[in-house]
Structure 1
Amino acid sequence: MTTATVTKEIKNKNSSKENTTTKEFTKVDRRDAKLALAHIYVAFIALLLGGLAGLLQVFVRSGQFTLPAGINYYQILTVHGVLLGLILTTYFILGFQTAAISRTSGPLSNKQRTIGWVGFWIMTIGTAAAAIMVLLNEASVLYTFYAPLQAHWIYYLGLALVVVGSWTVSLSQGLRYIQWRKENKGKTSPLLSFMVVVNNLMWFVCTLGVAAEVLFQLLPWSLGLVERVDVLLSRTLFWYFGHALVYFWLLPAYMIWYTVLPKIIGAKIFSDSLARLAFMLFLLFSIPVGVHHQLTEPGIDGFWKFLQVVLTFFVVVPSLLTAFSMFATFEMRGRELGGKGLFGWFKKLPWKDSRFLLPFIGMVAFIPGGAGGIVNASYQMNELIHNTIWVTGHFHLTVATTVVLTYFGAAFWLIPHLTGRVLTKKMNDLAVTSGIMWTVGMFIMSSAMHIAGLLGAPRRSEYSTYGGSEQAAEWIPYQIAQAVGGTILFITILLIIGIVINLIWFAPKGEEEFPLAELAHGAEKTPAILENFKLWGVILVALILIAYTFPIFDIINNSPLGSTGYKFW
């Protein structure tokens, strides 16, 4: 028995066979750890390069800096969006989820592990191909890659490979979950494994939209097989994927909040049923809502926009369930530790523990981030801020603060767990410092973005396109503030990369816990219906068909392309 596969086993005295239904896994298998680490390595490389591109971006927007000859502003904008919005998040999520499955459902089989490695290399080849095209300035189309901006076909193929590779890695995780269910018939599956499967299912369903856009529109168009594409259809297919992408980023943070943070503070999971219900509701309401990103676009009937706005606001239900569950857990634990009065429990939380502090800051940031989301999804208020830098500020609150800070907090215990090292007090103190610095930098930058957006500052344009206008004079102080905040953030990125390097290669060898909380005593038994994926899948498909069938039919039926199509047709 290796140190990476320590298990507690209760054996049936009347049988010589291993009773797999009572096996508890306490560590990530060493072979699975290598697969998880490979993903995490790529994620942090993307953080460094994408962060540098972001720093250059805010400098240019401030009007105080000009890019060297040969570098295009929209080139670095694409690098920043793709590396941080797509590559950092996807790789970290899949690495974390591989570790989570191995920790809770048991080591992957050799076949499952091979599938995971195949997916990793497909993703990495696609990432390299897309990156080369961006560096050659052949794909400066932002991470949304809106037509009629056209990239080199290799860029589109590269991103398609990233998606296909992610499906393959997700398949390896799903197969291990299915194996656990077969080995443990009638038992409730491990909560963290269940959450991983829900997130992967949502990812697969939502990426069908962007896969269809790339394979049937953008790739043939960039190859010259078709002369034109329907821009509205391509944007609709993208946002079918694009909003659920936000929840693909967010749900792993929720996994950490629900299952890891209670253990770190010495508490137990408040309710298994509530957590599973929240995830199922996210699955249902994260996909059929993408049209709320297209409220200002003609060609989609107002009724369908209104319907998807309503469905968008339903997502507040699982968010509030999560907020209630987490803060109830924090309060009960604080009072157990002697907290008195209305907020005395708050002081008892482990504020000097980076594993707790960073995700907690992320939770708090989600409050104004969610409020900004309500603005973005509202008819009248969206008219004011649509395509202004307000939207960018919103993304930096939700993704770059709530999600990324939670990922960082998890990385500081996950990486040493996978490498067989420990998070020392010195590294923990530096991690706490990095969390505070990130919060300060993001507060300055995001606040400036929100204010400048309300004043009409455009979302994607560089300074040279508006710097001479009279209105731009109002924006300049806020653009400079963005550069200040961005500088603090990049310094923080360097600090975080230093911590990660230490945890991978230089920290003392030892055993760092993969913290996983137990269910509270007396909690109600989880209803079997919450694990009935067939039922929830049918409801999900029905919602998607209701929300998208008629809008897409109308778009195709009223397409201005007429008989234009594939040349070989």
Structure 2
Amino acid sequence: MANETVAKVKVDPRDAKLSMAHFFVAFSALALGGLMGLLQTLVRSGKWELPWGIDYYQVLTVHGVLLGLVLTTFFIMGFQYAAVSRTTGGHSNAARRLGWIGFWIMLIGTLMAATMILLKEASVLYTFYAPLKAHWIFYLGLTFVVVGSWIDGAAQIMTYAKWRKNNPGQPSPLLSFMAVINTVMWIVATLGVAATVLFQLLPWSLGLVDTVDVLVSRTLFWYFGHPLVYFWLLPAYMCWYAIIPKIIGGKIFSDSLARLSFILFLLFSIPVGFHHQLTEPGIDPAWKFLQVILTFMVVIPSLMTAFSLFATFERYGRSKGATGLFGWFRVLPWNDARFTVPFIGMAAFIPAGAGGIINASNQMDQVVHNTIWITGHFHLTLATSVVLTFFGISYWLIPHLTGRKLTKAMNKLAIIQAWVWFIGMTFMSGAMHFEGLLGGPRRSAFSTYGGAKQAAEWIPYQVAQAVGGSILFLGIILVLIIFVNLAFFAPKGEEEFPVAEAEDNAEKAPMVFENWKLWLGITAALILFAYTIPFIDIIQNAPPGSKGFQTWNKW
């Protein structure tokens, strides 16, 4: 009986090995991608030039691909694989084999794409918009990463399905349910990017076709590109909903509310890509307006999450004797990095969410579209809210998987690292937002776009970005020191994988949440409703032959 209890609260060592393999790749991507980010900010300050013939856009592509795609995908798959193992009792041998196959395919694809970028054959940024063209090996590598992630995710779904079969009529463990929702959303979303790569960009790069329909390519990318943001975000929500309450000594406010919010993210995160294309011709404004409305529907589960989190904090605070409106704030465990680091990420999501509302609004987007404001927004959402939460997860998950302990010294260093990150991001992201309001372009090195007077207004903000980028790189060094210590040198011991429980008097989550035919059916219906007619319209009204391609190329 004792062995069974241990098995339920600890990730199986065989599963831990695969999760750690994912994390080694993720933190390697953080090291190289972070260095590229530092170089970018130094170049944009106008005070420094890249040595040895390195191209700015090569550096920009490495930064975006490694941090936006490689770091996130490998970390998320490693975390979710461990979470499913922890809450279901472990993966089967078949699921483990599938997980390893997916991991190696992803890694091979990553190395293929990275090699082409480093050889200057794929300086196309992480969005790889046509008419920018990369070497065919780059596109094939990206395809491998996507297909490998499908296989990796299939292992998690297989274990979840096995648990459901063995426990009929019971709601699945919350973390496993959340992991499967995120995996399903990822698979549905990546169908778009897989389609444009396999049927457009790869044949074009191989010389099999002379032209591509650029608007179709961009539409398929943004069908994927917006749910990509939620693929990043939902694992952070998993931590906020189901792990943070356990760390502070509280309970999950509502298991059912958490499940409902994740289902709403699945429904409303995919059919909204047009809000990234509000300024593009060739798309009927009525369909843009519809997708803007659907975009704002995502505010609902976001507000549900905020309500649930602060209710959890307040109820915990009241149990400790806190009084007044914000008395609970003082009694939270601020000396525990497992809480403090993700909490800073939570707080950053407040201004990040406000910026997202601006980006999704047709009128306000006209002011900031294609300016460095958008880059600043990404650095608040992904590089602060999400990444800080990922760091907070790693500070207990890495020692849990390696059989070591988070020492007081590493805990203190982790809190310092989080504040270093916060200060650096305040400088860099804040300066990006202000420069964007002045018209500073994104995706470009220091320039005189708009004339010398305009550029002069941008200089102070570009210098501030360099300062912030330097501080952030110091934060990356601290993260890597902590990671290496927790993986190899920390004292042997048992570190908890914290999973919170629902309130004692909470009702069982309704089984309708596990009705995948219903939720996938609604998701498919929303996607078909939002995309079928405009997609047919885009194809029927495409410019003939290479004419349209040349028009975009001049642009």
Give TM class, smaller chain.
Answer: over 0.9
- Paired residues of 2:253 and 2:502 also in contact (CA < 8 A): yes
2:506 pairs with 1:509: no
Aligned to 1:181: 164
Distance 2:326 2:451 in 1: 51
Q: What whole-Å deviation, never above 9, does each CA across 1:43-96 have from its counterpart, x for those lacking one? A: 000001000000000000000000013200000000000000000000000000
Distance 1:563 1:213 in 2: 18
> Displacement of 1:548 after TM fit?
0.3
2:98 pairs with 1:101: no
- Paired residues of 1:300 and 1:551 also in contact (CA < 8 A): yes
- Paired residues of 2:448 and 2:454 also in contact (CA < 8 A): no
Q: Return the letter of the residue paired with 1:443.
A: T
Q: Secondary structure at the match of 2:126?
A: coil
Distance 1:546 1:284 in 2: 12
> Displacement of 1:7 after TM fit?
2.4
Aligned-pair RMSD on alpha carbons? 1.4
Matches within 5 A, 1:147-546: 147-464=130-447, 466=449, 469-546=452-529
Q: Secondary structure at the match of 2:508?
A: coil
- Paired residues of 1:75 and 1:135 also in contact (CA < 8 A): yes
Distance 2:45 2:518 in 1: 52
C-alpha change, 1:6 and 1:232, in structure 2 (3 Å) is farther
Q: Return the letter of the residue paired with 1:491.
A: L
TM-score by length of 2: 0.97
Q: Which runs of 5+ in 1 are unaligned?
A: 10-23
2:23 aligned residue (40, 60, 63) = 40
> Displacement of 1:525 after TM fit?
1.9
2:48 aligned residue (51, 55, 65) = 65
Q: Which range is displaced more, 107-116 or 473-482? A: 107-116
> Displacement of 1:413 after TM fit?
0.1
Aligned to 1:86: 69
TM-score by length of 1: 0.95
Distance 1:200 1:220 in 2: 28
- Paired residues of 2:170 and 2:511 also in contact (CA < 8 A): no
- Paired residues of 2:219 and 2:274 also in contact (CA < 8 A): yes
> Displacement of 1:562 after TM fit?
4.3
Q: Return the letter of the residue paired with 1:234.
A: S
> Displacement of 1:468 after TM fit?
6.5
Q: What whole-Å deviation, never above 9, does each CA across 1:113-135 have from its counterpart, x for those lacking one? A: 00000000000000000000000
- Paired residues of 2:33 and 2:67 also in contact (CA < 8 A): yes
Aligned to 1:561: 544
Distance 2:109 2:452 in 1: 41
2:13 pairs with 1:8: no
Q: Secondary structure at the match of 1:496?
A: helix
How many residue pairs end up in the alignment? 548
In percent, how many aligned pairs have the same letter? 69
Distance 1:7 1:561 in 2: 66
> Displacement of 1:243 after TM fit?
0.1
- Paired residues of 1:39 and 1:120 also in contact (CA < 8 A): yes
- Paired residues of 2:368 and 2:436 also in contact (CA < 8 A): yes
Q: Secondary structure at the match of 1:560?
A: coil
Q: Return the letter of the residue paired with 1:243.
A: H
Q: Return the letter of the residue paired with 2:501.
A: E
- Paired residues of 1:263 and 1:516 also in contact (CA < 8 A): yes
Aligned to 2:552: none
Distance 1:495 1:26 in 2: 29
Distance 1:34 1:513 in 2: 17
Q: Return the letter of the residue paired with 2:245.
A: P
Q: Which range is displaced more, 305-314 or 358-367? A: 358-367
Q: Secondary structure at the match of 1:25?
A: helix
Aligned to 1:16: none
